[in-house]
A = this chain, B = another copy of it.
Amino acid sequence: MDTEEFLRRDHFASLLGIELFEAENGKARASLKIGEKHLNGLNMAHGGAIFGLADLVFAAASNSYDRVAVGIHADIYFLRPVRKGEVLTGEASELSKSDKLATYAIKITNDQDELIASFRGMVYRKKESLERKS
């Protein structure tokens, strides 16, 4: 499945305004420009928005093999505050993959290539193919 198709199906990614650039062989990359709608009461990007970007990259990477992968755990360290106007990029790498489980690390960086957040997640890989879900 190509990245356009992935985003078309993923309503939450559209709601947030995430752009997905790559999703294959366990890798994925996406970006998000932080706008008014992503801010919390302290005028910083909401942890949920940063997590949302990481989670989308995680989903794209783990589902890039055309087998349904569902997230079972994720965690995130928030390393720097993010303000309106910053463009964040999330990039996934695959730490492990077996028949049933796979683990991914996602780095979130800003325009200055500073590390904003460090995310890791694990999926359970089902038997069904992704195509059967369309």
Using known A-B contacts A72-B77, A73-B122, A118-B120, determine if residue A41 contacts B103 with beta carbons closer than 8 Å: no
Closest partner residue, chain B, to A116 (CB atom): B96
Tell me the bound Cα distance from A13 to B15 in angstroms. Answer: 12
Q: Cβ of A75: which chain B residues have Cβ within 8 Å of it?
A: 73-76, 120
Please tell me how many copies of the chain the complex holds: 4
Q: Are B77 and A76 in contact (CB under 8 A)?
A: no
**Which label, helix, strand, loop or mixed, suits the secondary structure of the A interface?**
mixed
Q: Are A79 and B51 in contact (CB under 8 A)?
A: no
How big is the A interface, by class? 35 or more
Q: Are A78 and B72 in contact (CB under 8 A)?
A: yes
Using known A-B contacts A100-B124, A101-B72, determine if residue A48 contacts B55 with beta carbons closer than 8 Å: yes
Task: Tell me the chain A residues, 54-87 only, with Cβ under 8 Å from chain B.
Answer: 55-56, 58-59, 63, 68, 70-81
Q: Are A37 and B55 in contact (CB under 8 A)?
A: no
